[in-house]
């Protein structure tokens, strides 16, 4: 098939002009591959729909060739579809320049050319383009970018974490808030920010099977992010299409040379953990597919032991996290399988900071001291810094240079930096975030209901030869007819019949007990129930959860196995039956967390049916009186188990109560002591890292201000008017948009054929999920902004204005400039520019009137010029504007130089700080190779060079002619 693309031609991407001048690498099989050397990116498109524009220079145009001075085109010749320019240098020598050798950094000046060519548009279109540019600036300057659009309540601890984590160049963190405090939402906020800031394009989420759909749905309904679930069936389907010569995906060359990678088929992917960690070939493909960000939920399933033993899940994540720059691990119970597992997960995130377990354990014993130093610096810096002992301790940790810098200048910034350094290098680290119910506040009560039951015959006898696990799970001892014999079953039946209007969640350790019990209650007792365990397929599990969630015709009871229910949202229920109690306190916390989570509106009733006088009762007393888990989340349960676990196990099997009472008494005292230590040490450090209330309040206030503004509603109305959409008021703060009969584009982004109803009000959007939540970050709005900016829409305009203060015939040139960085995205330099564009206004005397003549004023005064008059008008003013344009460009270059200066200074400061940290960690960790520092320095040089070669692009140009 013939194609318009030929290898070697130079094209530019319409949606991504920042990529610079691209060069066609391949144009075969209906697809085109183009490289963008300036951005180190490559794109493959279907040739028929490639969003590319051919770049051809005309005689008189300036062109750039690396390592040569400025050249001006004098002639162009075509050879086999590619152009050879003949261009003159400053000495008048003419050089042949094949287009292939043109510099990849390109200057675009479409607006100017369009204006001079008379290709101008109505001033309302120019106003829409200008409004888009201004909004892009506002968004870039906002510290809240990426936090505005998600349909979530503005909760301080989440907003803080999301903003803090996303502000890091490559976030690698452990989100370990207590159960149900919104780690999924935090991860979603971080993903959303990085995608919006274009710091991530490909995101991989790996989750336990039971959470696959929950994540899919949360990402879509709260963040407008469409993830794709990948499993074996999907991969096979893709393999099949790509191997099928009749398929549109078939690529003969590729199929001969190498196997296609199915994971390259989507940018946002969710994978079930059990599938991918047990499938070697898919794992390899997953690792090869290249990702910018990895998210792993319920990360406590990644087991690792100091002796080198690691679970397949751990090994998979270890492989992935070595390749992927940004990594989020999520767990509510980081120490679930012991401190070594916790250490191992931190090691995955930052092997330089966490080189070995022994050092980590040793470090923990100093948390209290670090916390004291931090407290001294934050509460009374002057007194602390005049205390000799305090200073000595600080100097030992920080080193001479940093300490004396602080002592000389204890400014708030320097103090803040020191506190962060202490937290990071010697405290709980900057990658661990853990908010607690106590710090977040506003949670309901946990109420324990104990239900003692008579021990059934045969149980005690069976216990004499049983393990402790069997003793705690009588269904394993009572034989095949356990459902009949077990008094817990009849108690559950009675409870459900007495509380017919309440939703009840029942959790049992074992999936077969859960299955038997549910079948019995549903079939024999007619109870509307569902079951949820790990042996069900994903669809069956989701169906069961949906049936339970249905408030009208749904199940009264959902029976879950331990692992099956982890991470799920059942906060609409207020009764949890703990059919048995696990020995691991974290498992119990996970169970309670199904109900005790954000969104729970009532008290959480915890029901424990147990055999009176049995090991079950003893374990209940342990949790109630020593661990205190039925009142509040347990923070010391693991530590108590470590110290008293053996005694507890032996006391559980004893007939009399003395041993258990003794263990409980000792453990209860110990719990108080441990909690006090944690309060002073680890928890205080975690609190400091996990939420700074003032910063969180500032973020929320900024978000609320942005939300209250009417600008978005006005912008949406302008969009509708200019693109030909139907726009109808729905109700207060809500509108309906529909495709109109006179639309100027075939498809408007994210506008369904039957229209969309959206509200600008967050609270309304939270309660009305049938409405879209329109913010500047909604895909319809951001897609429309891209539509405007990726084309010439409204880029050149001529209008007349009538102003008494100005002489008729005065010409005002209003221009918006967008300096563009042509650098690889991974360098993350965009944030160093003060804005995405700036505006200048000049007149024939080349006076800078940018401040004197406001854009909004020009919009108010602007009158359109009849098309028929345009050629005459242009002829009259052409000489003047041809002289004015270079001047306004010189002014723009001056502004750009100032930007470059500030940006390079700020970039250097940040890099120096980061380098200092790396050096400090290297001095304590012999495993870090010096090459790391060299690589870091190379990257800094690259960043500095890219900032220094900022390119100026004129995005919009309007000529206003003062009339009579
Ligand atoms: N900011 C928010 N706005 C609205 N709903 C929220 C917000 N944060 C959390 N939720 C809701 O609260 C529940 C708990 O949140 P989430 O699932 O993110 O918690 P989690 O910490 O990941 O839980 P777990 O520890 O069980 O894995 C979910 O139903 C979630 O949708």
Domain presence at residue 763: yes
> How many A from CA of 820 to the centre of ligand 1?
39
Q: Which residues are annotated as a binding site for ATP?
A: 177-184
Residue 161: which CATH number? 3.40.50.10810
Measured CA to CA in angstroms, residue 781 lies from 43, 711, 717 at distances of 25, 12, 11
List, as one string, the DSSP characters of 151-204.
-S---HHHHHHHHHHHTSSS-EEEE-PSTTS-HHHHHHHHHHHHHHTTS-S-EE
Does the residue 452 lie in any domain? yes
Contacts of 83 (CB under 8 A, 6+ apart): 9, 56, 76, 77, 98, 99
Same domain? 91 vs 194: no
- Low pLDDT (below 70) residues in the chain: 1-3, 14-18, 58, 107-109, 241-259, 336-337, 564-565, 681, 825, 924-929
Task: Tell me the CATH number at 94.
Answer: 2.30.30.140
Residue 943 lies in a domain: yes
Question: Are residue 390 and residue 316 in the same domain, yes or no?
Answer: no
Write down the residue that tokens 């970039």 correspond to.
907
Q: Are residue 209 and residue 300 in the same domain, yes or no?
A: yes
For 595-612, the pLDDT digits (tens) are 998 888 899 999 999 999
**CA separation for the pair 894, 885 (Å, rounded):** 14
Residue 851 lies in a domain: yes
**Domain stops at, among 750, 776, 802:** 776
Interval between CA 185 and ligand 1 midpoint (Å)? 6
Residues 945 and 809 in one domain: yes
Computed over its alpha carbons, how large is the radius of gyration of the chain?
Answer: 33
Q: In whole angstroms, what is the distance from residue 877 CA to residue 875 CA? A: 6
| DSSP code, position 51 | -
Quick one: 818 and 952 in the same domain? yes
Per-residue pLDDT tens over the stretch 367-419: 888 888 988 898 888 899 889 999 999 998 888 888 888 888 888 888 888 88
Host domain of residue 577:
444-634
Indicate whether residue 179 lines ligand 1 (CB < 6 A).
Answer: yes
Ligand 1 pocket member 430 (CB < 6 A): no
If one residue of 507, 599, 700, 773 were mutated to test the ligand 1 pocket, choosing by the most ligand atoms within 8 A of its CB, it would be: 599
Among protein residues, the one whose CA lies closest to atom 30 of ligand 1:
182
**Domain total in the chain:** 6
What's the ipTM? 0.99
595 pocket-lining for ligand 1 (C-beta < 6 Å)? no
Of all protein residues, the one whose alpha carbon is nearest to atom 15 of ligand 1 is 182
CB 175 within 8 A of CB 186: yes
Which numbered atom of ligand 1 lies nearest the CA of 594?
26
What is the CATH number for 752? 3.30.360.80
| Residue 210 and residue 301 share a domain | yes
Angle, to 10 degrees, between the axis of helix 156-166 and the axis of helix 183-196? 40
pLDDT at 304: 84
Please check whether residue 563 lies inside any domain of the structure.
yes
Torsion angles phi and psi, residue 327, rounded to 5:
-135, 130
CA atoms within 13 A on the CB side of 843: 14
- Residues 383 and 456 occupy one common structural domain: no
- For a ligand 1 pocket test, name from 159, 184, 545 the mutation site with the most ligand atoms within 8 angstroms of its C-beta: 184
300 lines ligand 1 (CB under 6 A): no
Cα–Cα distance, 40 to 100 (Å, whole number): 16
Out of 178, 182, 433, give the residue to mutate to test ligand 1, the one with the largest number of ligand atoms within 8 Å of its CB.
182
Is the minimum distance from the CB of 598 to ligand 1 under 6 angstroms?
yes
Q: Within this chain, do residues 222 and 85 fall inside the same structural domain, yes or no?
A: no
Residues 815 and 768 in one domain: no
Pocket test for ligand 1, best of 150, 185, 435, 593 (most atoms within 8 A of CB): 185
Q: Is residue 937 part of a domain?
A: yes
Same domain (yes/no): 799, 933 = yes
Give, rounded to a whole angstrom, the gap between the first and last alpha carbons of the chain.
59
- List the structure tokens of 136: 């892009």
Q: 301: CA distance to ligand 1 center in Å?
A: 20
Q: Exposed, middle or buried: residue 829 (CB in 10 Å: 0-12, 13-18, 19+)?
A: buried
Give, to the nearest 10 degrees, the angle between helix 412-426 and helix 367-379. 170
Answer yes or no: are the C-beta atoms of 656 and 615 closer than 8 Å. Answer: no
Same domain, yes or no, for 593 and 568? Answer: yes
pLDDT given for residue 423 in this prediction: 84
Position 574 in a domain: yes
CATH of the domain at 595: 3.40.50.300
Helix, strand, coil percent content, the chain, rounded in steps of 5:
50, 15, 35
C-alpha 178 to ligand 1 mean position (Å) = 11
**258 in a domain, yes or no?**
no
DSSP three-state, residue 505: strand
Judge contact between 689 and 423, C-beta under 8 A. yes
Residues 276 and 213 in one domain: yes
Four-point Cα dihedral 364, 369, 374, 380, nearest 10: 170
Q: Which of 323, 353, 383 is the last residue of a domain?
A: 353
């Amino acid at each position: 098939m013939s194609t318009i693309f030929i290898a070697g031609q130079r094209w530019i991407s319409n949606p991504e002009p920042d990529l610079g001048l691209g060069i066609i690498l391949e144009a075969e099989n209906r697809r085109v591959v183009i490289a963008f050397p300036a951005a180190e990116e490559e794109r493959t498109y279907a040739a028929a729909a490639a969003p590319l524009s051919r770049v051809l220079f005309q005689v008189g145009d300036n062109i750039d060739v690396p390592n040569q001075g400025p050249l001006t085109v004098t002639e162009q010749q075509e050879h086999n579809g590619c152009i050879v320019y003949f261009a003159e240098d400053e000495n008048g020598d003419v050089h042949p320049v094949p287009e292939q050798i043109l510099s990849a950094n390109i200057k675009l000046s479409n607006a100017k050319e369009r204006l001079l060519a008379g290709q101008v548009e109505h001033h309302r279109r120019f106003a829409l383009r200008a409004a888009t540019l201004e909004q892009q600036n506002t968004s870039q300057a906002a510290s809240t970018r990426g936090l505005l659009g998600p349909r979530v309540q503005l909760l301080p601890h989440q907003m803080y974490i999301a903003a803090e984590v996303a502000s890091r160049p490559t976030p690698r963190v452990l989100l370990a808030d207590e159960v149900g405090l919104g780690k999924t939402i935090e991860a979603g906020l971080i993903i959303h920010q990085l995608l919006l800031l274009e710091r991530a394009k490909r995101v991989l989420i790996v989750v336990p099977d039971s959470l696959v759909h929950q994540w899919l749905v949360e990402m879509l309904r709260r963040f407008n992010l469409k993830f794709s679930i990948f499993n074996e069936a999907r991969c096979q389907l893709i393999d099949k299409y790509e191997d099928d010569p009749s398929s549109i995906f078939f690529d003969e060359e590729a199929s001969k040379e190498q196997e296609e990678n199915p994971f390259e088929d989507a940018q946002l992917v969710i994978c079930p953990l059990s599938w991918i960690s047990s499938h070697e070939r898919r794992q390899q493909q997953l690792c090869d597919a290249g990702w910018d960000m990895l998210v792993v939920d319920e990360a406590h399933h990644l087991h690792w032991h100091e002796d080198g033993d690691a679970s397949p899940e751990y090994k998979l994540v270890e492989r992935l996290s070595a390749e992927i720059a940004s990594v989020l691990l999520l767990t509510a119970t980081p120490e679930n399988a012991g401190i070594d597992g916790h250490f191992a997960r931190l090691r995955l995130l930052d092997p330089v900071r966490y080189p070995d377990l022994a050092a980590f354990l040793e470090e923990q014993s100093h948390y209290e001291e670090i916390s004291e130093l931090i407290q001294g610096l934050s509460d009374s810096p002057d007194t602390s810094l005049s205390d000799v002992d305090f200073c000595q301790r600080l100097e030992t940790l920080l080193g001479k240079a940093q300490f004396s810098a602080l002592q000389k200048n204890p400014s708030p910034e320097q103090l803040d930096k020191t506190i962060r350094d202490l937290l990071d290098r010697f405290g709980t680290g900057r990658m661990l975030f853990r908010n607690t119910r106590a710090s977040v506040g506003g949670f309901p009560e946990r109420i324990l209901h104990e239900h003692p039951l008579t021990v059934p015959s045969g149980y005690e006898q069976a216990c004499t030869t049983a393990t402790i696990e069997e003793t705690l799970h009588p269904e394993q001892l009572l034989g095949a007819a356990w459902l009949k014999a077990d008094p817990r079953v009849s108690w559950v039946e009675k409870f459900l019949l007495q509380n017919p209007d309440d939703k009840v969640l029942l959790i049992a350790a074992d999936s077969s007990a859960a299955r038997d019990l549910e079948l019995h209650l549903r079939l024999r007792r007619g109870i509307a129930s569902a079951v949820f365990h790990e042996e069900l397929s994903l669809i069956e599990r989701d169906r069961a959860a949906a049936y339970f969630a249905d408030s009208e015709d749904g199940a009264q009871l959902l029976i879950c196995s331990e692992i099956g229910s982890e991470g799920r949202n059942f906060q609409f229920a207020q009764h949890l039956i703990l059919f048995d109690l696990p020995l691991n306190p974290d498992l119990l916390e996970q169970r309670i967390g199904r109900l005790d989570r954000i969104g729970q509106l009532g008290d959480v009733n915890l029901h424990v049916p147990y055999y009176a006088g049995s090991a079950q009762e003893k374990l209940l007393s342990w949790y109630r009186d020593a661990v205190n888990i039925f009142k509040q989340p347990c923070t010391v349960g693991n530590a108590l188990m470590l110290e008293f676990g053996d005694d507890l196990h032996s006391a559980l099997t004893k007939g009399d109560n003395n041993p258990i009472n003794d263990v409980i008494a000792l453990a209860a005292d110990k719990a108080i002591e441990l909690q006090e230590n944690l309060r002073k040490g680890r928890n205080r450090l975690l609190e400091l890292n996990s939420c700074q209330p003032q910063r969180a309040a500032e973020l929320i206030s900024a978000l609320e201000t942005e939300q209250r503004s009417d600008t978005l509603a006005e912008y949406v109305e302008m969009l509708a008017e200019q693109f030909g959409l139907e726009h109808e008021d729905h109700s207060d703060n809500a509108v309906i948009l529909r495709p109109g009969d006179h639309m100027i584009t075939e498809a408007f982004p994210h506008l369904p054929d039957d229209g969309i109803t959206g509200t600008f009000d967050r609270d309304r959007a939270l309660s009305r999920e049938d409405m879209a939540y329109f913010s500047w970050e909604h895909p319809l709005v951001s897609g429309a902004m891209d539509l405007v900016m990726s084309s010439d829409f409204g880029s050149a305009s001529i209008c007349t204005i009538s102003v008494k203060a100005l002489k008729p015939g005065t010409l005002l040139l209003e221009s918006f400039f967008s300096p563009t960085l042509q650098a690889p995205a991974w360098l993350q330099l965009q944030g160093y520019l003060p804005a995405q564009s700036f505006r200048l206004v000049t007149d024939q005397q080349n006076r800078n009137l940018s401040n004197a003549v406001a854009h909004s004023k020009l919009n108010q005064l602007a009158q359109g010029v009849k098309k028929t008059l345009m050629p005459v008008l242009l002829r009259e003013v052409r000489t003047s504007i041809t002289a004015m344009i270079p001047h306004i460009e010189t002014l723009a270059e001056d502004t750009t130089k100032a930007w470059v200066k500030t940006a390079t200074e700020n970039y250097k400061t940040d890099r120096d700080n980061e380098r200092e940290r790396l050096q400090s960690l290297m001095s304590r960790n012999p495993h870090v190779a010096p090459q790391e520092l060299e690589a870091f320095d190379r990257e800094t040089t690259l960043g500095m060079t890219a900032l220094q070669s900022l390119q100026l692009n004129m995005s919009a140009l309007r000529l206003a002619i003062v009339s009579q």
